[in-house]
A and B are shown apart, each in its own frame.
Chain A
Amino acid sequence: MAPVLTLRGLTTVFGKGTQELRALDGVDLTVNAGEIVALVGESGSGKSLTGFSINGLLPANARITGGSIDLSGTDLRTVPAREMRKIRGKEVGMIFQDPMMTLNPVLRVETQMRDALRAHDPLPRAALRERLIAALAEVGIAAPEQRLRAWPHELSGGMRQRVAIATALLHSPKLIIADEPTTALDVTIQGQILALAQKLCKERGTALIWITHDLAVVAGIADRVSVMYAGRVVEEGPVDAVLDAPAHPYTRGLIDSVAANQPKGTRLPMIPGRMPLLSDLPKGCVFAPRCSRRSALCDSTSPPPRATGQGQTVRCHHPLTEPAGALA
């Protein structure tokens, strides 16, 4: 099966010249149809930026300087900016973190959804309405006709996120990028939204990138996981393999710092130090300054991606599991 999305060496920078900051450096990512790939990493590791690089909504001071973004055969980097609009929403959907902020406070739900629908599908008004009602019903919203007339502030957080999901799904895009869509919701609602996303994705064969920093969510929803650190993917592989036998010391540290993984009453182990600033990245491995397995090699050379026995790919000179050999 051909993948829906393949990122090869994606590199995105902020600023120009000597001020240039490399926020994404050689990001590789593959998502197949019907597959859920989690993108994890601490704040500032470049998860959102990866999403915005894909659908061309980078901030004005950012630009892609290298790599390719292959969406079922089309390199999105070669698509002119004005043509990208036709891809957004139709081929690539996006859901954001805070449902309080994703819906425009001064437009009715109907107006916002109608605009999203008409962006790619100029239907007559009555047909539009019917499609919208059906879309809301599909994400489990009761009394969709009334919800359609509602203002965003009249809906609960979970309801708004459902509206956002319904909107992003209107054109059944091949790929959906969900940027921490459950972080702002309470736990029960979180579970419902996760289940909903999983169900819709599997039913429709949508490729889903789920950005999060919650490993419990990763375990619950994803098929594969990519761990990001300082703009690089440091480890990638099937969820079970990565979570059970992480190869990168950073992944290990992330897993260990989750309370549920530790015996009661013990202090949570923390990864010492903090992520380096983009303006001050180490010369070799970006994780070296915080790593317990650091050697002279780590300080001098950036580790290339290598495959491990369990189908993982890791960027580490001293991985926790035995490497199967260097990857081309």
Chain B
Amino acid sequence: MAEFILRRILQALLVLFVMTVLVFFGIHVIGNPVDLFASSECTKACLDEIMVNLGLDRPVWQQYLIFLGNLAEGDLGRSFTHGVPAMSLIWERFPATLELAVAALVLALGIGLPLGFYAGLRPESILSKVIMALSMIGFSVPIFWIGLILILTFSVYLGWLPAIGRGELVSVLGLEVSFLTLDGLRHLAMPAFTLSLLMMSMVIRLTRAGLREVMTSDYIRFARANGVPEYRVLGWHAMKNLLIPIVTVLGMEFGGVIAFAVVTESIFSWPGVGKMLIDAISVLDRPLIVAYLIFVVTMFVLLNLVIDILYSLLDPRVRLGAGAV
């Protein structure tokens, strides 16, 4: 187990290293951030002064070494545009994104599992065919379009839900959340649903396919032949086998949902990290971009670790060990 985790951390460090090199030199090639955010009255001398202040006057490899030195001390640098530590900006915004992503995950499982189960049990029924067709749409229709249609329908036309922003917050264990207030829920509903659609479609398809396979297996027949009640056969004997592929796929997908909540956050003006990233990229705010990417990579690594542990809990044949990477 310890070796397994250590190996994961080493892999992550390698990925981080390659990623920072790419971003550093990539941004250097694209352009000079100062040109983008300095005010137009700024003279050549004033520009130079800003460059010196931000350390942008040095050769890029020197900048990179300085960055690595600071990183070793846990300092990810200050945002060029906001002038505050990049990490604190991310932490400020992250709870909103996390809440959105978790809400989407809950919706994907809460709606996707029952629908997939139904479609798997009654593959020939009309409703199943409708469910499968909808899940196909979930895969193929772009998120921004769905988001806009939702806004048009529920905000503009029906006027039931607010179109943008995050609702009223309450603090739980130091974390600001909105899902515990009615206003918060009303704001959360559409963006969370939009973000959940892809995952939900996957859950429906995985559940249906998995269930149909599992139901023909001897162990399900054996459980039934022993008179085990149907709710127990489906809800636990079959379910636990189904969850293995679902956890695997959702685990990989969930990181992506957080990292690329960008589109959904932009549509609904959700104040999360995704929106912040877009703003940072448009002004080449390098420390913020790099900090965000480091944050995301770290999150992916942690998430994978959690998935592996969950996986070993679900499937006794999987044991975390030297071989399992």
Looking across the interface, which residue of chain B has its beta carbon closest to that of A52? B221
Binds A, one of B66-74, B109-117, B236-244, B302-310: B236-244
How far apart sit A108 and B240, CA to CA, in the bound complex (Å)? 12
**Do A153 and B317 touch (CB < 8 A)?**
yes
Stretch at the interface among A86-94, A127-135, A320-328: A86-94
A104-B219, A106-B314 known; A88 and B237 CB under 8 Å? no
Which residue from A89, A101, A108, A151 sits with its C-beta under 8 Å from B226? A89
**What's the Cα separation between A318 and B216 when bound, in Å?**
41
What are the 8 closest A-B residue pairs judged by CB atoms, nearest first? A89-B227, A116-B226, A94-B225, A89-B226, A101-B218, A119-B227, A151-B316, A104-B219
5 residue pairs of the A-B complex, CB under 8 angstroms, read A85-B230, A94-B226, A105-B315, A112-B237, A119-B227
Asked whether A119 lies within 8 Å of B219 as measured between CB atoms, the reply is no
In Å, the complex CA distance between A107 and B223 comes to: 12
User: Taking the complex as formed, is A168 at the interface, i.e. its CB lies under 8 A from any CB of chain B?
Assistant: yes
Q: Which of B230-271 contact A (CB under 8 A)?
A: 230, 232, 236-237, 240-241, 244
Q: What is the minimal beta-carbon distance from A116 to any residue of chain B, in angstroms?
A: 4
Which of B222, B225, B229 lies at the interface centre, i.e. has the most chain A CB atoms within 10 A of its CB? B225
| Interface size in chain A (residues, C-beta < 8 A) | 34
Q: Is B58 an interface residue (CB 8 A)?
A: no
**Bound complex: CA A98 to CA B229 (Å):** 23
Residues of chain A within 8 A (CB-CB) of B153 are: none
Q: Is A167 an interface residue (CB 8 A)?
A: yes
Is the beta-carbon distance between B218 and A88 smaller than 8 angstroms? Answer: no
Complex Cα gap A164–B225 (Å): 11
Chain B residues with Cβ under 8 A from A104's Cβ?
219-220, 222-223, 237, 240-241
A106 touches B225 (CB 8 A): no
Q: How far is the CB of B232 from chain A (nearest CB, A)?
A: 6
Other-chain residue from B217, B232, B237, B240 in contact with A101 (beta carbon distance below 8 A)? B217
> Closest Cβ of chain A: how far from B89's Cβ, in Å?
43
Cα distance A116–B232 in the bound complex, in angstroms: 11
B228 touches which of A96, A105, A116 (Cβ 8 Å): A116
Indicate the member of B221, B240, B314 with the most A CB atoms within 10 Å: B221
Query: Nearest Cβ distance between residue B128 and chain A, in whole angstroms?
Result: 13
Taking A94-B222, A96-B218 as contacts, is the C-beta distance between A106 and B227 under 8 angstroms?
no
Q: How far is the CB of B164 from chain A (nearest CB, A)?
A: 44
Cβ contact within 8 Å between A103 and B219: yes
Considering the complex, give the chain B residue whose CB is closest to the CB of A113: B226
- The residues of B that contact A89 with a CB separation of less than 8 Å are 225-228
Q: Mark A49-77, 1 if CB is under 8 A from B, else 0.
A: 00000010101000000000000000000
Q: Which of B223, B229, B232, B240 contacts A106 (CB 8 A)?
A: B240
Q: Which residues between 112 and 139 of chain B lie within 8 Å of chain A, taking CB atoms? A: none
Complex alpha-carbon distance, A92 and B230, angstroms: 17
Residue pair A106, B316 in contact (C-beta under 8 Å): yes
Q: Is the CB of B240 within 8 A of A107?
A: yes
Query: At the interface, yes or no: A102 with Cβ under 8 Å from chain B?
Result: yes
Q: Is the CB of A105 within 8 A of B225?
A: no
Q: Does A115 contact B (CB under 8 A)?
A: yes
Q: Report the bound CA distance from A101 to B217 in whole Å.
A: 7
**Which residues of the other chain, A, contact B225 by a CB distance below 8 angstroms?**
55, 57, 88-89, 92-94, 168
Q: Could you tell me the distance in whole angstroms from the C-beta of A166 to the nearest C-beta in chain B?
A: 11
**B224 on the interface (CB 8 Å rule)?**
yes
From the candidates A87, A92, A101, A115, name the one contacting B223 in the complex (CB within 8 A).
Answer: A115
